[in-house]
C-alpha cells in the first residue's frame, strides 16, 4: 500500500489504527494513529521504501530520535517496515506550525526572541550530546508550536552526526552554502545559520532568499528588524562559516538582546528609587536596627540547614531545621518562601507525602511563584482516583516551558531542580524519565556557566551554591543511569540466553 493511499480505519502492524492525515513531505506522509495497545494517539510517519534516499533518511531519523531525550523533541515509540514502506511511530505534538503562526500573526520582537531562545537551547542540547548531533533542516515548517507556546522540532530526516560526511541536501534559503557541497563536513554553525534565517522568516513574514549574499542584504536593509536583531542575524547568517556564532555564543547573545529593554527601564527608574531611599532612609535605619538580632538568628539557622545536604538534596535533618526556620518567624519573606518551596518539594518527591506538599505549596505567594497552581495540580494527580501520570508529565512539560524562559536567578534553578525530579518520578519509562531529568539539570548548569559580570544577574554566593548543587545532582543521577543501564543489559543478556536454550 502506498503511503498516500492509507485510509482511515486501516490498522497497521496489528496495532496502529489510522485516524486521519496530519502532514506530508516529498516521499512521506504523516498520520494521526491510535495505539490499540496503550490507548494513546501518536504520529505515524510512512516513507516510500522505493524512493531515492529513503533508507538513509529513515535510518537517520530513527537513530536521532532514539538518542535524543529533550522535552522539545518528539520521543520515538516504534519503527518497522514492510515491502512497500518504512514506518516511524513517534510522540504526537498537538499544535500549529511556526510558519502558519508567523504568516497569520504579527509576532513581536519579544515573542520571536523568546521562541528563538527555546530553539537555540534545543539545538545546544543536540550539539552538546556525548556524540554531537546536527539537525540540518531547521525552518518554520519543521517547528510545531503547542498550546502552551512551546516550539517542538520535528522531522529528523536529514539530521546527522558532527564531523560525519553528509548528503548535499537541505532547504534553499535556510541551509548554509556549505551544506550543498558533496560529502560536506558540517559543524554546529550550519544549524546556527538556519536558526538565523528562521528568525528572519518569522519576523519579516517572508522566506529568506536562496542566495546567501542577497539574504544577508535583505536582513541588513529590513525595515522591521531592529539594530540589535540585524547585528545578531548578520553574524548567524554570514555566508562564511568561520564568521558565524557557535551555538553557546548565539544563545548568550539572544539572552543579552532580550535583556536590553529591562536594563534600559532599570536605568530610568534609578533616579526615582534613589529619591525614595533618601526620603525614607531614617525609617529604614530604624527598622534595620530593630531587626539586627532577628536577622542574625535567621542567618545562623540558614547556615545550619545548608550543611545538612547529601547528593544535592536536603537530608531529613536539614528539612527539620528548615521547618523550624519557617516556624521561627525570623526569616525574610524571600527566604521564607524559598524554604516553604524546599519543604513542599521534599514532601512530594522524596517522602511521597502529597498532603503535606499541597499544604506548603498553597503557602507560596502567587506573585513570586505563579506556577503554584500547577504544583498543587501535580500533588492532586498523584493521589487517590486522580492518579494520572500522563497528565502529570504534561503539567511538568508546561512548567519547564514557563520557567526556562525566565531570566537567570536562584529561584529559576530551584524550580528546574524540582522539574527534573518530576520527570524522573512520573515518566512511565524510568530510563526515559532519568534522561529527561539529567537534561533539565544540565541546561540549568550550562546557563549559569554563561552568565557574565555584565549580565543582569550578578555572581552572588547563593548562585555559586546552586551551581555546586546542580553538579552534585547530575553526578548522582548519571551514576543512577549507569546502574540502570547495566541492569537492563544484564536482563537483556539473560533473555537472549533463555531464547538460545528454548
Confidence of residue 173 (pLDDT cuts 50, 70, 90): very high
Domain membership of residue 273 (yes or no) is no
Residues 178 and 81 in one domain: no
Which CATH number covers residue 201? 1.10.510.10
Q: How far is CA 144 from CA 99, 103, 239, 266, in A?
A: 9, 14, 27, 35
Domain membership of residue 486 (yes or no) is yes
How far apart are the C-alpha atoms of 18 and 364, rounded to whole Å?
A: 45
Domain coverage including residue 64: 3-91
Residues 47 and 140 in one domain: no
Domain membership of residue 466 (yes or no) is yes
Last residue within a domain, chosen from 211, 230, 256 = 256
pLDDT 10s digits, 388-445: 777 888 888 888 888 888 778 777 888 888 888 888 887 878 888 888 889 899 888 8
Q: Is 375 within 8 Å of 361 (Cβ atoms)? A: yes
Confidence of residue 494 (pLDDT cuts 50, 70, 90): low
Residue 250 pLDDT > 70: yes
pLDDT for the residue 190? 95
Last residue within a domain, chosen from 66, 91, 116 = 91
pLDDT for the residue 260? 66
pTM: 0.59
- Average pLDDT, integer, range 233-250: 94
**Which DSSP state fits 177?**
G
Residues 49 and 129 in one domain: no
Domain membership of residue 183 (yes or no) is yes
**Which DSSP state fits 208?**
P
Burial (CB < 10 A; 0-12, 13-18, 19+), residue 188, is buried
Residues 155 and 87 in one domain: no
Domain membership of residue 361 (yes or no) is no
Pairing relationship of beta strands 28-35 and 40-48 according to DSSP bridges: antiparallel
Confidence of residue 182 (pLDDT cuts 50, 70, 90): confident
Angle, to 10 degrees, between the axis of helix 109-127 and the axis of helix 189-204?
160
Residues 415 and 478 in one domain: yes
Output the average pLDDT for the chain.
80
Residues 53 and 125 in one domain: no
Last residue within a domain, chosen from 69, 91, 113 = 91
C-alpha cell at 2: 502506498
Residues 426 and 405 in one domain: yes
Q: Which of 5-14, 174-183, 264-273 has the lowest mean pLDDT?
A: 264-273
Domain membership of residue 270 (yes or no) is no
Domain membership of residue 376 (yes or no) is no
- Average pLDDT, integer, range 155-164: 69
Residue 266 pLDDT > 50: no
- Average pLDDT, integer, range 79-93: 90
Residue 496 pLDDT > 70: no
How far apart are the C-alpha atoms of 369 and 348, rounded to whole Å?
A: 17
Q: Is 175 within 8 Å of 158 (Cβ atoms)? A: no
DSSP-based three-state secondary structure for 331: coil
Residues 205 and 138 in one domain: yes
3-state DSSP percent of the chain in helix, strand and coil, to 5: 60, 15, 30
Assign 3-class secondary structure to 262-295: HHHHHHHHHHHHHHHHHHHHHHHHHHHHHHHHHH
pLDDT 10s digits, 185-223: 889 999 999 999 999 999 999 999 999 999 999 999 999
Residues 43 and 133 in one domain: no
Helices (H), 68-108: 98-104
C-alpha cell at 322: 528548615
Q: Is 188 within 8 Å of 132 (Cβ atoms)? A: yes
How far apart are the C-alpha atoms of 45 and 79, rounded to whole Å?
A: 9
Q: What is the dihedral of CA 431, 435, 438, 443, to 10 degrees?
A: -160
Residues 229 and 152 in one domain: yes
Residues 73 and 149 in one domain: no
Distance of CA 114 to the CA centre of its chain: 12
Residues 26 and 62 in one domain: yes
pLDDT for the residue 269? 43
**Where do the DSSP E strands lie in 228-362?**
309-310, 313-314
Domain membership of residue 26 (yes or no) is yes
Give which of 370, 369, 375 is closest to 356, Cα–Cα: 375
Q: What percent of the chain has pLDDT over 70?
A: 81
Which CATH number covers residue 75? 3.30.200.20
Angle, to 10 degrees, between the axis of helix 430-450 and the axis of helix 109-127?
110
Number of domains present in the structure of the chain: 3
Amino acid at each position: 500500500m502506498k503511503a498516500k493511499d492509507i485510509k482511515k480505519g486501516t490498522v497497521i502492524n496489528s496495532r496502529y489504527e489510522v485516524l486521519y492525515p496530519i502532514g506530508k513531505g516529498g516521499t512521506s506522509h504523516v498520520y494521526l494513529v491510535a495505539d490499540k495497545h496503550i490507548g494513546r494517539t501518536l504520529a505515524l510517519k510512512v516513507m516510500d521504501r522505493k524512493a531515492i534516499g529513503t533508507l538513509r533518511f529513515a535510518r537517520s531519523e530513527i537513530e536521532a530520535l532514539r538518542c535524543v531525550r529533550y522535552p522539545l523533541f518528539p520521543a520515538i515509540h516504534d519503527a518497522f517496515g514492510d515491502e512497500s514502506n518504512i514506518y516511524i511511530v513517534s510522540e504526537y505534538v498537538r499544535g500549529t506550525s511556526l510558519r502558519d503562526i508567523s504568516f497569520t500573526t504579527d509576532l513581536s520582537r519579544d515573542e520571536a526572541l523568546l521562541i528563538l531562545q527555546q530553539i537555540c537551547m534545543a539545538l545546544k542540547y543536540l550539539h552538546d550530546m556525548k556524540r554531537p548531533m546536527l539537525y540540518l533542516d531547521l525552518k518554520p515548517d519543521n517547528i510545531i508550536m503547542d498550546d502552551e507556546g512551546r516550539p517542538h522540532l520535528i522531522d529528523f530526516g536529514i539530521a546527522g552526526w558532527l564531523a560525519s560526511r553528509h548528503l548535499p541536501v537541505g532547504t534553499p534559503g535556510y541551509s548554509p552554502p556549505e551544506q550543498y557541497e558533496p560529502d560536506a563536513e558540517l559543524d554546529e554553525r550550519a544549524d546556527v545559520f538556519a536558526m538565523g534565517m528562521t528568525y528572519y522568516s518569522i519576523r519579516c513574514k517572508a522566506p529568506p532568499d536562496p542566495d546567501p549574499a542577497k539574504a544577508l542584504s535583505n536582513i541588513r536593509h529590513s525595515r522591521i528588524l531592529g539594530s540589535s536583531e540585524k547585528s545578531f542575524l548578520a553574524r548567524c547568517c554570514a555566508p562564511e562559516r568561520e564568521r558565524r556564532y557557535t551555538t553557546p555564543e548565539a544563545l548568550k547573545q539572544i539572552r543579552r538582546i532580550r535583556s536590553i529593554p529591562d536594563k534600559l527601564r532599570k536605568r530610568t527608574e534609578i533616579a526615582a528609587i534613589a529619591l525614595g531611599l533618601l526620603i525614607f532612609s531614617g525609617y529604614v535605619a530604624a527598622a534595620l536596627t530593630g531587626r539586627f538580632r532577628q536577622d542574625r538568628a535567621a542567618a545562623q539557622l540558614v547556615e545550619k540547614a545548608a550543611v545538612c545536604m547529601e547528593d544535592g538534596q536536603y537530608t531529613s535533618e536539614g528539612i527539620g531545621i528548615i521547618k523550624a526556620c519557617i516556624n521561627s518567624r525570623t526569616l525574610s519573606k524571600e527566604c521564607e518562601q524559598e524554604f516553604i518551596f524546599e519543604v513542599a518539594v521534599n514532601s512530594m518527591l522524596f517522602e511521597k507525602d502529597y498532603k503535606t506538599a499541597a499544604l506548603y505549596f498553597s503557602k507560596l505567594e502567587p506573585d513570586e511563584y505563579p506556577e503554584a497552581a500547577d504544583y498543587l495540580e501535580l500533588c492532586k494527580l498523584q493521589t487517590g482516583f486522580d492518579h494520572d501520570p500522563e497528565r502529570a508529565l504534561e503539567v511538568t512539560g508546561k512548567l519547564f516551558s514557563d520557567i526556562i524562559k525566565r531570566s537567570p536567578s536562584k529561584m529559576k534553578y530551584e524550580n528546574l531542580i524540582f522539574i527534573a525530579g518530576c520527570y524522573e518520578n512520573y515518566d512511565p519509562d524510568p530510563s526515559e524519565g532519568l534522561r529527561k531529568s539529567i537534561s533539565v539539570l544540565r541546561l540549568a548548569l550550562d546557563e549559569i556557566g554563561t552568565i557574565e559580570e555584565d549580565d543582569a544577574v550578578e555572581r552572588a554566593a547563593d548562585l555559586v551554591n546552586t551551581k555546586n548543587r546542580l553538579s552534585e545532582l547530575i553526578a548522582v543521577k548519571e551514576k543512577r543511569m549507569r546502574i540502570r543501564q547495566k541492569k537492563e543489559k544484564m536482563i537483556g543478556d539473560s533473555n537472549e540466553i533463555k531464547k538460545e536454550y528454548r
